[in-house]
Structure 1
Amino acid sequence: MGRILLFNKPFGVICQFSQDGLHPTLADYIPVPEFYPAGRLDTDSEGLLVLTDDGQLQHRITDPKHKLPKTYWVQVEGVPDSAALDALRAGVLLKDGMTQPAGAALIDTPPGLWPRTPPVRARKAIPTSWLELTIREGKNRQVRRMTAAVGFPTLRLIRYRIGAWTLDGLDQGTWKMNT
C-alpha cells in the first residue's frame, strides 16, 4: 500500500514539481522524493492536494469511475438564493455538458481561514458569501463555471475534502503524511 501525503496548497502555486520560472511549485514546499499529485488544483485555487508514491493508488484516487467526493469552500460574489442552490443541486448545463448533481449549501465563513495573498477583490456595493459545494466529477474549472452559470461568480476557491481526507490540522503551505 502506498503512502499518502496531504498538502494545503497556497494560491499561486502550480501542481507540479518541475519549475516553470513563473510560479512557485510543489518542490518549493514538499522536500519528499517520489510523491506525485493525485489530481490537480488550478494555480488560483487553494486547499487540499493529495499526493502519493503509489501509481495505482494515484490512479484510483483520480479515476472518475470511483467518484470520490470533493468538497469545496467557495466565496462567491453576491448571496445565492434558493433557486441558485437548487440549480447547483440538480446539475448545471455548461458548454461541455450537464454536470452531475452537487451538494450545495450556504455556510458561514469557514473557521480558521487564512488570509489570501493577494486578497480577494472587494466591492462596497456587492456582498460576498460562502458556499460548500460537493462534486463527484472533475471537469476543468468545474466549480468556478458552475457558480458563474447560476449567476454568482467565484472569488475564492478552497478544496476542503477529498473522500475522507480533509484540511483539518493543516496550515496553508504545510504538509503531513497521512497515517
Structure 2
Amino acid sequence: MSQLILFNKPFQVLTQFTDDQGRKTLADYIRQKDVYAAGRLDYDSEGLLLLTDDGALQHQLSHPRHKMEKTYLAQVEGDVSETALVALRRGVELKDGMTAPAKAERIEDPALWPRNPPIRQRAQIPTSWIRLSITEGKNRQVRRMTAAVGFPTLRLIRIAIGPWSLDGLAPGQSRSVTAPKPAAGAGARSAPARNAGAIQRLPGARPDNSRRKSTGATARKKPGRRSR
C-alpha cells in the first residue's frame, strides 16, 4: 500500500534529504524509507508538506494541471488594504505572467508557534495577516503576489493542500494517512481541507505578538467560513 506522510516543515529546512552545505533537510525529521516530497516548500517557508513512496501519486499531487488547492497564512509588511486583497482575488501580473484568481482575506493574528529567528521588524511599520488559497505552483508565488500588490511577505506558513491540513501537527512532526489511489483529472481540487483552522490548536502555539499597532488602522473582519 502506498504511503502518504503529512509533515509540518520547520523554517529553514530543505525539502530534500541531502545537502552538501550542512543545512537541515528532511532526513533530520523523516525516518520512513524511500519517500519523496510531492511538490516543494521554500527553505524560508513553513508548514504542510506531503511525502509519498508512490511515483504516480507524487505526480498527481504536485503537477500543476491537477490544480490542487494550497492554502497559506502570510504575515505581510504593512496594514493590508482591501484594494490589495481584491487584486489578489482577480490575479496579479508577475514577470512570468498573470496569476490565476486566488482566495484572499484578511484575518486576525493567528496563534502560532514562535519562529526562530523571528521576523525582522521595522519601527513604526505594522504587519498584518492574510489567508491566501491558490491552485498554481509558480516559484515563490505567494511572496511575489503579495509584493506585487505592495505588501511584502515576512512569514509564510502553508496550512492545507487539497483535503489535507496541518491538523494539530507541531513543527517537525509528521503522521501517515491513508493514501488515495492515483487518478487522472483535478478531482482533488473539489475537496476542502478538513480542519484548516486547526493551526490555532497546535501544541505550544501562542498568539503572534510581532505585529506593531498603527494609528488609524482599519478594523479587521473576523475570518468566516470559506465558500468554494
TM-score by length of 1: 0.97
Q: Which residue of 1 aligns with 2:6?
A: 6
Please report how far the alpha carbon of residue 37 of structure 1 lies from its aligned counterpart in structure 2 after TM superposition.
0.2
Q: Which amino acid counterpart does residue 45 of structure 1 have in structure 2?
A: S
Partners in 2 of 1:165 and 1:30 — Cα distance?
18
Please report how far the alpha carbon of residue 108 of structure 1 lies from its aligned counterpart in structure 2 after TM superposition.
1.1
Within 5 A, what are the aligned runs for 1:88-103? 88-103=88-103
1:67 paired with 2:67, answer yes
Partners in 1 of 2:2 and 2:140 — Cα distance?
28
Q: Which amino acid counterpart does residue 43 of structure 2 have in structure 1?
A: T
Report the secondary structure of 2:57's partner residue. Answer: helix
1:165 paired with 2:173, answer no
- What value does the CA root-mean-square deviation take over the aligned residues? 0.9
Q: Which amino acid counterpart does residue 120 of structure 1 have in structure 2?
A: I
Quick check: 150-159 or 12-21, which moved more?
12-21
Q: Which amino acid counterpart does residue 33 of structure 1 have in structure 2?
A: K
1:151 paired with 2:150, answer yes
Report the secondary structure of 2:48's partner residue. Answer: strand
Please report how far the alpha carbon of residue 131 of structure 1 lies from its aligned counterpart in structure 2 after TM superposition.
0.4
Cα deviation code 1:106-158 (max 9, x no counterpart):
011223x1000100011230000100000000100000000000000000000
Within 5 A, what are the aligned runs for 1:19-168? 19-111=19-111, 113-168=112-167
Report the secondary structure of 1:140's partner residue. Answer: coil
The aligned length equals: 178
TM-score by length of 2: 0.76
Please report how far the alpha carbon of residue 80 of structure 1 lies from its aligned counterpart in structure 2 after TM superposition.
1.3
Q: Which amino acid counterpart does residue 27 of structure 1 have in structure 2?
A: A
Please report how far the alpha carbon of residue 169 of structure 1 lies from its aligned counterpart in structure 2 after TM superposition.
1.1
Q: Which residue of 1 aligns with 2:219?
A: none
Please report how far the alpha carbon of residue 105 of structure 1 lies from its aligned counterpart in structure 2 after TM superposition.
0.2
Q: Which runs of 5+ in 1 are unaligned?
A: none
- Which structure: larger Rg? 2
Partners in 2 of 1:83 and 1:32 — Cα distance?
46
Identity %: 63
Partners in 2 of 1:71 and 1:20 — Cα distance?
31
Cα deviation code 1:62-101 (max 9, x no counterpart):
1111101000000000111111000000000001100000
